[in-house]
Structures are given as C-alpha cells and as structure tokens.
C-alpha cells in the first residue's frame, strides 16, 4: 500500500509564456484554468478557493458574476508586457505514483478532482521594461 500525503507539487510549466488565468466557481467548488503559449490549457478542479498569486509584471484583472452563485476572475498580462511562468504548484493529496500518473497524461485535461486544496502561481517578466 502506498503512502498518501499532502505536499506542494510543481506542474512542468516553468518557462512557458503566460497567456491567461481564469478562476471560476464558488468558494468550495471551483476550477483554475491556466493558459500558456503553444501548450494545451491546464484545468485544475479545486476543493477550496485558495489561490496564491505573484505576478512579476502588470496584469489586468476582471472579476464578474457567472450566475447567481458563481464568479469568474480572469487575469491577463497587459498587451505591452510578456510574462513567463516561474512556478505553478498545487497542494496534492496523493501518492508519488498518483502524481507521476497525472503528469504522464498532461496532454489531456489535468483532472485532480478534490485532490487539490491550494494553487500557487508565480510569473516573472521576460525582460525589464525600458525606461524611456
């Protein structure tokens, strides 16, 4: 029997160009969808609405109602800036073997179900802005 434990696990997106992040749903049942350039989007179902975000440059944030209960938050870099993913990690409540199986199928929808309690997402600018 494999040991199950919770730990922050990094998804293999470091260095990819950040396009958009959506977080939609309510406080208990929500999803985060991360879009990066030239790769399929990653959709992460979450069992709680906790997301830790650190952006290394200016972004536009839009927050609106989807319906009477659910909201959607969309975050995109401003058009003049380019950002790359520095870290995308999730709090995963499973074994090493389960995590490895998810990564093998990452070209499909990453379906972590209620296994994810937290999401940490960090970006950085690809170049320093000019000081003209």
pLDDT score for 126: 81
Write the burial class of residue 94 (CB in 10 Å: 0-12 exposed, 13-18 middle, 19+ buried): buried
CB atoms within 10 A of CB 74: 16
CA neighbor of 78 nearest in space, from 124, 127, 19? 19
pLDDT digits (tens, 9 = 90+) for 78-123: 988 889 999 888 887 778 887 887 777 655 545 555 456 677 888 8
Give dist(CA 15, CA 17) in Å, integer: 7
Chain CA centroid to CA 47, Å = 14
pLDDT at 131 over 70: no
Give dist(CA 26, CA 71) in Å, integer: 7
Question: For residues 3 and 40, which has the higher predicted lDDT (pLDDT)?
Answer: 40
pLDDT score for 16: 92
Secondary structure (3-state) at 40: coil
- Residue 1 confidence class, pLDDT cut points 50, 70, 90: very low
Domain ranges of the chain: 5-125
pLDDT digits (tens, 9 = 90+) for 5-59: 567 888 888 899 999 999 888 767 788 889 999 988 888 887 766 788 888 888 9
CA neighbor of 124 nearest in space, from 16, 6, 11? 16
pLDDT digits (tens, 9 = 90+) for 55-75: 888 899 998 888 888 888 899
pLDDT score for 20: 94
């Amino acid at each position: 029997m494999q040991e199950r434990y919770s730990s922050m696990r990094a998804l293999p997106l470091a260095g990819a160009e950040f396009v958009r992040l959506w977080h939609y749903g309510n406080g208990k049942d929500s999803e985060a969808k991360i879009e990066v350039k030239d790769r399929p989007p990653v959709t992460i179902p979450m069992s709680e609405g906790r997301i830790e975000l650190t952006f290394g440059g200016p972004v536009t944030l839009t927050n609106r109602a989807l319906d009477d209960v659910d909201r959607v938050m969309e975050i995109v870099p401003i058009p003049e800036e380019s950002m790359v993913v520095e870290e995308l990690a999730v709090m995963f409540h499973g074994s090493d073997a389960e995590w490895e199986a998810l990564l093998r199928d990452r070209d499909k929808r990453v379906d972590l179900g209620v296994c994810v309690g937290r999401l940490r997402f960090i970006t950085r600018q690809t170049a320093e802005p000019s000081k003209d």
